[in-house]
């Protein structure tokens, strides 16, 4: 991953499975950033829906954000 422009912070959200995360949606709330997506096995078979939340305050401070799913 490249460097973010000056004054910006860049994050990567790891995918804990080998499934393909399709059709992602992001919601911003005061306590966190919420992410949901449809999960596909091998990019073909639907494996279910996934959701997680990232610690907004940690991310705004430039720290590593705990991700809960």
Q: What is the per-residue pLDDT across 32-50, written as a single tens digit (0 to 9) for each?
A: 999 999 989 987 899 999 8
The model's pTM is 0.72
pLDDT on residue 4: 60
The Cα–Cα gap between 31 and 28 comes to 8
pLDDT on residue 69: 80
pLDDT band of residue 5 (cuts 50, 70, 90) is low
The Cα–Cα gap between 45 and 40 comes to 5
């Amino acid at each position: 991953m490249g460097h973010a422009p000056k004054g910006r912070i860049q994050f990567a959200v790891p995918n804990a499975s080998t499934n393909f995360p399709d059709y992602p949606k992001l919601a911003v709330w005061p306590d966190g950033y919420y992410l949901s997506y449809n999960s596909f096995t091998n990019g073909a078979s639907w494996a279910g829906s996934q959701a997680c939340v990232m610690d907004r305050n940690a991310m705004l401070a430039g720290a590593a954000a705990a991700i809960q799913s």
